Structure formats: C-alpha cells, structure tokens
Amino acid sequence: MASAGAAGRPKAVIDTSKGRIVIELYQDKAPKTVANFVKLATQGFYNGIIFHRVIPDFMVQTGDPTGTGRGGPGYTFADEFSPDLHHDGPGVVSMANAGPNTNGSQFFITLAPTPWLDGKHTVFGRVLEGQSVVDQIVAMPRNAQDRPLTDVKMTQVTIQE
C-alpha cells in the first residue's frame, strides 16, 4: 500500500531489523493517541523495542519496553474512537490495551480485517509503505506465546511532520 499521506498528517518512520515501515498518523481523528505516540517516538522510547507478539492472519504487536506484553510507559490514557476509522484490512495501526481506557505505548499493525476490534482498540494510523516488512515479521518462526524466536526490533522511530 504505497500512497501519499493526507496533507497535514504526520508520518512515523519505523526502521526495524527487517526493514522500514512508514505510517500515516491520524492526528485529526485520534489527537491524544497520536500526540502520545509522537512524544514517545521523539523521546526515543521505542528505539530497541522488540515485536513481542506476532500472529499470522491477525497482527504484529510491539511497544512494550519489557518485551513481555505487560509493560508500558508508566501511565495510561483514554480510548479515542472515530466513527470513520475501522480495523478494515491489513496495515491498520491501533493501540493495544488491557481493557477500556488502558492505552500506553503498545500498538499493533493488522494483517487482515479485524472488525471485532472496532470500538475496543483506538485506530490511529495506517501503513503507507512497508506492509511487506510486516509480512516478513509475522512469517518468522515463533514460540507458543507467539513471540518470534529471533528478536525483531524497532531500531529507530522518527516523526515527519
């Protein structure tokens, strides 16, 4: 999915040990969520964090500094749901959470439509370039907890305004 982002929307460039993923950030639809993501990225929070959960035909998840699926930035914030943003195909970027209003730093990228997540996970972006990198990550051998046997890291996350 290679297309230009909407005018005025920032992009996140996620360099991984498997390649580059470029994400358009929906700051107009999920302003608090995008502001949080941009803040963490700008602070270098995401640099070196692994993709700790990868499930074929579903999603890849990252953003946990502990690599366990239980870590975060030390705070949580409220969900933001937009009526026109849905988990409608591959490349949707959405917040992982432990229930309502428990967003922090973890996020996932979908590999297929996942409509059961609508209204439960905040959509805040979409992959513009690099969905093939996401596909490479999910194709890696993994353990029973869906963690890749070989770590795949976000080496650097930068924001382009």
Query: Is residue 62, in this structure, part of any structural domain at all?
Result: yes
27, 97, 106, 131: the active-site residue: 97
Active site residue 108: yes
Query: Is residue 122, in this structure, part of any structural domain at all?
Result: yes
pLDDT, mean of residues 42-50: 98
Query: Is residue 40, in this structure, part of any structural domain at all?
Result: yes
| Chain mean position to CA 124 | 9
pTM of the model: 0.95
pLDDT at res. 12 = 98
pLDDT at 4 over 60: no
Query: Is residue 124, in this structure, part of any structural domain at all?
Result: yes
Instruction: Give pLDDT tens digits for 124-136.
Output: 999 999 999 999 9
pLDDT, mean of residues 137-154: 97
- Picking from 6, 13, 161, the residue whose alpha carbon sits closest to that of residue 84 is 6
Q: 5: pLDDT confidence band, cut at 50, 70 and 90? A: low
Q: What's the CATH number where 91 sits?
A: 2.40.100.10
Active site residue 107: no
Query: Is residue 1, in this structure, part of any structural domain at all?
Result: no
Query: Is residue 2, in this structure, part of any structural domain at all?
Result: no
DSSP string, the chain: ---PPPTT--EEEEEETTEEEEEEE-TTT-HHHHHHHHHHHHTTTTTT-BEEEEETTTEEEE--TTSSSS--SS--B-----TT----STTEEEE--SSTT-BSS-EEEESS--GGGTTTS-EEEEEEE-HHHHHHHHTS-B-TTS-BSS--BEEEEEEE-
pLDDT, mean of residues 41-58: 98
Active site residue 53: yes
The strand order across the sheet containing 59-62 reads 51-55, 59-62, 107-110, 92-95, 123-129, 19-25, 11-16, 154-160
Q: Do 113 and 89 touch, CB atoms closer than 8 A?
A: yes
27, 36, 61, 131: the active-site residue: 61
Query: Is residue 3, in this structure, part of any structural domain at all?
Result: no
pLDDT at res. 7 = 65
Q: Do 148 and 141 touch, CB atoms closer than 8 A?
A: yes
Active site residue 121: yes
Instruction: Give pLDDT tens digits for 79-114.
Output: 999 999 999 999 999 999 999 999 999 999 999 999
Query: Is residue 6, in this structure, part of any structural domain at all?
Result: no
Domain membership of residue 45 as a residue range: 11-160
Domain count, the chain: 1
Active site residue 51: no
- Strands 92-95, 107-110: parallel, antiparallel or unpaired by DSSP? antiparallel
37, 51, 107, 108: the active-site residue: 108
